[in-house]
Amino acid sequence: MFAALFFVTAAPAVLAQDVTLRSRDGAIELSGTLLGFDGEFYRIDTRYGELTVDGSGVLCDGPGCPSLTDFVAELAISGSATVGTVLMPALVEAFALRVGLDAVRAPVEGGFVYELREDRTGADDGTGRVVGRFTFRISDTDRGFADLLADEADIVMALREVRPEEVAAAREAGLGTLDDANRSRVVALDAMVPVVAPGNPVTQVSLGDLARVLGGRITNWARLGGPDAPIVLHLRNEASGLSQGISDRILGPAGLDVPGTAVRHASNEALARAVAADPFGFGIASFSETGNTRALRIGGRCGFELSATRRSIKTEDYPLTAPMFLYLPARRLPALAREFLSFTRSDPAQIVIRRAGFVDQAPEEVPVELQGDRFANAIVVAMGEPGLAELKRLVSTLGPMQRLTTSFRFEPGSAQLDAQSRSNVHQLARSIEAGRYDARRLLFAGFSDRQGPAASNLKIARDRAVAVRDAVLRAAEAADFDRLTIGTDGFGEAMPMACDDTRWGREANRRVEVWVR
């Protein structure tokens, strides 16, 4: 009956009042101060400490007892404007429609609130009984985590992964370990894209040069193959998740910081508008909001180039993907909130995400004939008879199959899957459970960089394929594996995605792909 959980979902009128909880057979009685109620569980401060009690097993007596029939599921969501302005409202409204509720939106200070009301026999007038209230505070990723730590939010909307200092503060506040896989979920995908004005002659930039531009080391377009003119750097405000993602993933590894001369913008739209109007402007935009700018390809000295497209972001072949996160504390949310979070991972939600202008996580199948550049690159880098023999085996194995956009990559210098890949584990597991690949064959294919002996790289690639397959099998608890065939293979360094002479290139090449037939 008791659980070590806590939450902030009770109405203020019933907080900090004395109650007595009695088991239905009268054998157990607890008295204390009611701290919270989420429609299912009471949180009560007793002489034994703070306890959480299942409401179905007790009767409540006292002035603080909430009404079980009039309970309203409260959910406070705070953080990134990029996530909260368009994407989350679209998901809330789609969820309400799916479960037969009216979603009534109203402005509040710093954001807006959705009241989810019972549909009165299809009247659609928003006057039904309120069963849920989802309040959004629109600001930035930093403020979202600050609100969570201040007990003013239940969910954080973030454009970057949680930082170590935020993990430590949350753990100290009793909110759990925020960097644990169960404490976050990827709700959609985006990417950081270098952009210029449409008339700028530069078409590509290496990640090394990108870091040097953003860090103020390259200040003239001539260094990038452009005109002899100063580079005007345009970036989002420092507290935005986009700017923090730049610091964490591009500048930090290079030991650089943004110069004070950078022009800062309060929104993605304002940044894109400014770069499009500035012939010497250089910015980092969100893939979902590039406006009238022109995106640069990411290239390298070996000749490989990668563009930000919906498919390359899904596969994580594009190196600057930016997952859009929801972070959840280790406390129980109301049932309606849990249903909403479950909906965000469903197939109908992926359609909503795509229509809202973001990249969804629904797997797509890519035939070999649309992957000519990848196979051409593989032929170019194949060295000697052993390399050509392995390439021939790759073509023989994968040629009759199609690649899924579901791919898996790893944290830098680690065997730990990165955030997008951890989300892909759950997405693929759900697809298998739903029978999407019944009577078909899935192949987990491992690849490596070219550092070290080819035989060792081949073994590493095979081991990674097995590890990812096992993670998906563990996540697909309800699947009937007799309905499909699942295998693994490794092809080592046979099909590189990027140049091996940079850290990010090697990370892009260390991957596990999923192929289907």
CATH number of the domain encompassing residue 294: 3.40.190.10
- Tell me which of 41, 61, 81 is where a domain ends: 61
Backbone φ and ψ of 475, nearest 5°: -75, -25
Cβ(315)–Cβ(407) under 8 Å?
Answer: yes
Task: Calculate what percentage of the chain has a pLDDT beyond 90.
Answer: 65
Cβ(507)–Cβ(496) under 8 Å?
Answer: no
Q: Please indicate, yes or no, whether residues 437 and 496 belong to a single structural domain of this protein.
A: yes
Q: Please indicate, yes or no, whether residues 311 and 240 belong to a single structural domain of this protein.
A: yes
Give the model's pLDDT for residue 433: 94
Structure tokens at 30: 């607890």
Of 12-21, 483-492, 493-502, which has the strongest mean pLDDT? 483-492
Cβ(494)–Cβ(396) under 8 Å?
Answer: no
Give the model's pLDDT for residue 504: 78
CA distance 51 to 38: 14
The pTM for the full model equals 0.82
The Cα-based distances of 336 to 92, 106, 187 in angstroms read 11, 19, 18
Q: Please indicate, yes or no, whether residues 382 and 462 belong to a single structural domain of this protein.
A: yes
Residue 212 predicted with pLDDT over 50: yes
The Cα-based distances of 397 to 17, 394, 428 in angstroms read 68, 5, 22
Give the model's pLDDT for residue 1: 42
Q: What is the DSSP letter of 319?
A: T
Q: Please indicate, yes or no, whether residues 231 and 283 belong to a single structural domain of this protein.
A: yes
Residue 68 is assigned to a structural domain of this protein: no
Q: Please indicate, yes or no, whether residues 156 and 206 belong to a single structural domain of this protein.
A: no
CA distance 328 to 334: 13
Structure tokens at 244: 């923090």
Give tens-digit pLDDT for 344-398.
Answer: 999 999 999 999 999 999 999 998 888 767 777 667 666 655 667 888 888 889 9
Q: How confident is the model at residue 7 (pLDDT cuts 50, 70, 90)?
A: very low
When mean pLDDT is compared across 47-51, 93-97, 159-163, 359-363, the lowest value belongs to 47-51
Nearest to 256 by CA among 265, 266, 264, 246: 246
Q: Please indicate, yes or no, whether residues 370 and 495 belong to a single structural domain of this protein.
A: yes
**Contacts for 108-117: CB closer than 8 Å, 24+ residues apart:** 108/135, 110/137, 110/138, 110/139, 111/84, 111/135, 111/136, 111/137, 111/138, 112/136, 112/138, 114/89, 116/73, 116/336
Q: Pinpoint the alpha helices (H) of 136-206.
A: 141-149, 164-172
Q: How confident is the model at residue 329 (pLDDT cuts 50, 70, 90)?
A: very high
Backbone φ and ψ of 327, nearest 5°: -105, 135
144 C-beta neighbours (distance < 10 Å), count: 29
Q: How confident is the model at residue 93 (pLDDT cuts 50, 70, 90)?
A: very high
Give bridge partners of residue 485 from the DSSP assignment: 441
* Conformation bin of residue 326: beta by default, left when phi > 0, alpha when psi is -120 to 50: beta
Residue 160 is assigned to a structural domain of this protein: yes
| Residue 70: exposure state from Cβ atoms within 10 A (0-12, 13-18, ≥19) | exposed
Residue 210 predicted with pLDDT over 70: yes
Q: Please indicate, yes or no, whether residues 399 and 416 belong to a single structural domain of this protein.
A: yes
Give tens-digit pLDDT for 20-45.
Answer: 999 988 888 999 999 888 888 898 88
Q: What is the DSSP letter of 251?
A: I
* Span 198-226, average pLDDT: 96
When mean pLDDT is compared across 29-38, 111-120, 189-198, 410-419, the lowest value belongs to 410-419
Residue 11 predicted with pLDDT over 70: no
Cβ(502)–Cβ(302) under 8 Å?
Answer: no
Mode of pairing for the β-strands spanning 111-118 and 58-61: unpaired
Cβ contacts of 447 within 8 Å, gap of 6 or more: 461, 490, 491, 492, 493, 494, 495, 496, 509, 510, 511, 512, 513
* Span 272-288, average pLDDT: 97
Residue 458 is assigned to a structural domain of this protein: yes
CA distance 316 to 313: 5
388 C-beta neighbours (distance < 10 Å), count: 13
Backbone φ and ψ of 249, nearest 5°: -105, -25
Give tens-digit pLDDT for 147-158.
Answer: 999 999 999 999
Q: Please indicate, yes or no, whether residues 391 and 345 belong to a single structural domain of this protein.
A: no
Of 39-48, 179-188, 429-438, which has the strongest mean pLDDT? 429-438
Residue 238 is assigned to a structural domain of this protein: yes
SS3 content of the chain, % helix, strand, coil (to 5): 35, 30, 35
Give the model's pLDDT for residue 122: 56
Q: Please indicate, yes or no, whether residues 373 and 262 belong to a single structural domain of this protein.
A: no
Residue 309 predicted with pLDDT over 50: yes
Mean pLDDT of the chain: 89
Give the model's pLDDT for residue 4: 36
Residue 339 predicted with pLDDT over 90: yes
Give the model's pLDDT for residue 299: 86
Give the model's pLDDT for residue 3: 38
Structure tokens at 426: 């759950």
Place of tokens 């710093």: 110
Task: Calculate what percentage of the chain has a pLDDT beyond 70.
Answer: 93
Give the model's pLDDT for residue 382: 62
Structure tokens at 119: 């549909």
Give bridge partners of residue 137 from the DSSP assignment: 78, 111
Number of domains in the chain: 4
Q: How confident is the model at residue 414 (pLDDT cuts 50, 70, 90)?
A: confident
Residue 9 predicted with pLDDT over 70: no
Q: What is the DSSP letter of 84?
A: I
Residue 140 predicted with pLDDT over 60: yes
At 463 the three-state DSSP class reads helix
Cβ contacts of 11 within 8 Å, gap of 6 or more: 66, 72, 74
Place of tokens 């590039």: 290
Cβ(241)–Cβ(82) under 8 Å?
Answer: yes
Give the model's pLDDT for residue 66: 85
Backbone φ and ψ of 287, nearest 5°: -55, -35
Residue 265 is assigned to a structural domain of this protein: yes
* Span 448-460, average pLDDT: 89
Q: Please indicate, yes or no, whether residues 368 and 470 belong to a single structural domain of this protein.
A: yes
Residue 380 is assigned to a structural domain of this protein: yes
Residue 41 is assigned to a structural domain of this protein: yes
Q: Please indicate, yes or no, whether residues 207 and 247 belong to a single structural domain of this protein.
A: yes
Cβ(58)–Cβ(22) under 8 Å?
Answer: yes
Residue 132 predicted with pLDDT over 90: yes
Place of tokens 């009770």: 10
Q: How confident is the model at residue 12 (pLDDT cuts 50, 70, 90)?
A: very low
CA distance 507 to 121: 55
Structure tokens at 478: 């309800």
Of 40-44, 288-292, 331-335, which has the strongest mean pLDDT? 288-292
Nearest-Å Rg of the Cα atoms of the chain is 26
Q: How confident is the model at residue 412 (pLDDT cuts 50, 70, 90)?
A: confident
* Structural domain boundaries, residue 51: 2-61
The CATH number for 19's domain is 2.30.30.520
Q: How confident is the model at residue 420 (pLDDT cuts 50, 70, 90)?
A: confident
Q: Please indicate, yes or no, whether residues 93 and 155 belong to a single structural domain of this protein.
A: yes
- Sign of the dihedral defined by the CA atoms of residues 61, 62, 65, 70, in that order: positive
Give the model's pLDDT for residue 14: 40
211: part of which helix (H) or strand (E)?
helix 207-214
